[in-house]
Each structure stands twice: as structure tokens, then as C-alpha cells.
Amino acid sequence: MIHNNSQALRFAADGTFKISVFSDLHYGESQASVGPENDARTGNVMNTILSIEKPQLVVLNGDLVTGDATSRSNSSAYVDRVLTPLVENNVSWASTYGNHDSATNLCADDVFRRERFHQNCFTQSMVSDPAAGLTNYFLPVFPHNSTAAEVPEVILWFFDTRGGSVCSESEDESDRMPDWVHQSVTKWFIKSHSQLMAEYGKAVPSLAFFHIPTYALRAFQETGISNYTEPGINDEIPVKQQGYFWDDDDYMGQDAPFMDALLRTEEMVATFSGHDHGNDWCFNWNGKLPNMDLEGNGLKMCYGRRTGYGGYGDWARGGRQIVLRQNVSETPIETWIRLEDKTAGARVTLNSTYGQDQYYKCLRVGAQYFYNEIYLC
């Protein structure tokens, strides 16, 4: 029986809610050679971070399985391997799906059913349009001592950026899927947020998670990223935004309605993406950006950190950590990157002056960063 989770998410007794974000796990690659070893190493990364951070929720932010590298007979079984560290640590999770989670040999429906079998799974699907993808939903997070009827402290929004290929009954090449948030999802998001405002009598602070970043991150990257004000790695140039693979580098603005909806959402505080393995910075979208008509209003947009040993690149593996405190609208988010070697870096506060505040000076050593403690954090 597929589990239907009705348990509410809540802040801890100390007034915090902690999220660990694991992006780009890419289980199932190169199974004839280094794949099994890489999958085991990915599991070790997750276990290490979970043992240190002890989050109340893990977000699997896309590319759980590399579906185009698996076979039809066993592709969905890799989902069980993805989830093993979470099940063994008894931690709840919620997923978005990425461009590698749908392929000729892997149906996102199968991934979803496999996830939903587990009691600690909060992944849902709230948009019925068949073109919308699956992982479009929201989760309210309530105060520690409250009933589910009370006003949540924060609402977590999850969006399916699609991409990859439509799974098919044959092993032949299937149709490519657009890699941006579908218009039906944007309409659902606007309507749902309005309904929640009416239900709760106010706009509740919100965070959004989606696998493929928006064009705003690419536009900001073009202005220049400073290791003093936006600490982190910035090796993936240019950003591969929603629509990138569909348009073959000729950006057509498919994600503009979604970005506009994010900006118009009252109390939308921050967004978190993955996809580009060589980026893990955040920025403050406050004002105009090159080649964009939309004007930012202080929305913070962050990358996670590539977690898996599948996929391209040799950057150190890890995951983004997010700490929320009750009265979210008045207490800025703290976030950092926890690496496989147990060190932490790029610790920042997503407040109104983020992008101006001076953080540690980053020193590049090999495939990761160390921080010179000559600047106040």
C-alpha cells in the first residue's frame, strides 16, 4: 500500500526548523564499472551530513536517479538506495524531480510511487495537468506546540522543472520534455498562495525548492560574483537555466512567468536550486539584472551543493543546510554548506543586506574552498 502522510511538520522545541538539501545524487550511473562504489560513497555523504546536522527535513532537490543510464528492469529500484540513508536515520524528506528523473527507462510515476511507500515521505503531487510534472506541492510547517488548525510558521513550496525524456513502453528514443516550470503550475501556485492568505489571514513566509535554476541566477552571474559577499564556488559558467537545453542556448524566457510569480508572492523569502554541479552560491535579487524586464525585490536565490558521486565534476560533495527560527519573517535564514569531510563553509545570513555584508575571504584549494578568518562572518 502506498503511504499517505498526514503528519504535520513542526519546529523543534528550541524554536528551530532545520533542513538539509541533497542535490544531484545521480544514483545508477556506470553500473558496469564504478557505479556501485559511487552509489555507496553517495550514501556515505548523506549519512555523514545527517549525523552532524540532524535535520527535521531533508529536501532531495532533483536528479535522484540518472534514469537514462539505467535499464527498464531495475531503474526504480535505485530509488530504494537513494532513500536508505533517510530511512535508516528515521528522517523525513520531500523531493523535487530533475531532468534525469524522467527518461526512456525511468518513469517519474514509478519514482513517486516508490517514495510514497515510506512513512517519512512528504513528497506530494497537487497539480493534475499531465504536462506539469509530478512534484508540485506545498508543505506547511507549524510551531512546536500547536494544532494543525493554527497558522504555520513557514510554507515550503516544491516545483517540478521537468526536463529529460518522456518514459515510453519501448526502449526507443522518446520525446524530450520541456525543462521549465509549466504554466499550469504557475497558475496553481498563484491561486494556492491567494487561498492560503485568505485561510490564514496573512501572508505566511515561504521558501521554494526546484531543481533547475531560473535565468535570474545566470543574469546575476554575468554581473560578477564576489567571494567576499557571495561566498561559494562559481565554476559553472554560464548558469544553465530553465529552458537552456530546450532552446540550445537561445534563451526564450520560458521561466519568466514563474519568476514573476515568485517575485509577486508576498513573503517569499528564498529559493533553492541544484542542477549546476559547480555552483553553490546565493544572491540577493534586489533591482534590475542584465537582459531582464523583471525587477527583483530582495528575493534570495541559492544553489544547493552537489551531493552525489554520479554525474560530472570533481567538486567536493556535500549539502546545503538551512536553519529557520520561529517568527521567520523577523529572523533571517542562516545557511551554509556541509562537506563530506565534515567541514562547513560559505556560512551566510540571508538578511536584507545580504550581498553587501562581507564574509570570509575564500581561498581555492583543489576542488573545494577554505576560508580566511580575517573578515567577520
CB 304 within 8 A of CB 320: yes
Closest CA to 70 of 61, 80, 60: 80
What's the whole-model pTM score?
A: 0.93
In the three-class reduction of DSSP (H, G, I as helix; E, B as strand; rest coil), residue 219 is classed as helix
Angle between helices 256-264 and 215-223 (to 10 degrees): 90
pLDDT at 170 (0 to 100): 58
Element (H, E) at 323: strand 318-325
pLDDT in tens, the chain (377 residues): 334 445 789 999 999 999 999 999 999 988 778 888 999 999 999 999 999 999 999 999 999 998 887 777 777 789 999 999 999 999 999 999 999 999 888 889 999 999 999 999 999 999 999 999 999 999 999 999 876 568 999 999 999 999 998 887 655 556 889 999 999 999 999 999 999 999 999 999 999 999 999 999 999 999 999 989 999 999 999 999 999 988 766 789 999 999 999 999 999 999 999 999 999 999 999 999 999 999 999 999 999 999 999 999 999 999 999 999 998 989 999 999 999 999 999 999 999 999 999 986 555 555 555 544 333 33
Using DSSP bridges, classify how beta strands 57-61 and 92-96 pair: parallel, antiparallel or unpaired: parallel
**Residues linked to residue 57 through DSSP beta bridges, in sequence order:** 19, 92
DSSP string, 297-308: -SEEEEE--B--
pLDDT at 103 (0 to 100): 87
CB 43 within 8 A of CB 79: no
pLDDT at 4 (0 to 100): 41
Q: Which CATH class is domain 9-372?
A: alpha beta
DSSP string, 58-126: EEEES-SB-GGGS-TTTTTHHHHHHHHHHHHTT-EEEEE--TTSSBTTB-HHHHHHHHHTSTTB-----
Query: CA–CA separation, 217 vs 237, rounded Å?
Result: 11
Query: CA–CA separation, 124 vs 111, rounded Å?
Result: 12
Q: Where are the domains of the chain?
A: 9-372
CB 93 within 8 A of CB 126: no
The dihedral built from the CA positions of residue 156, 23, 123 and 259, taken in this order, carries a sign that is: positive
Place of cell 545521480: 26
Q: Put the strands of the sheet holding 154-159 in their side by side order.
A: 9-10, 137-142, 154-159, 206-210, 268-273, 299-303, 282-285
Query: CA–CA separation, 269 vs 323, rounded Å?
Result: 13
**Residues linked to residue 283 through DSSP beta bridges, in sequence order:** 301
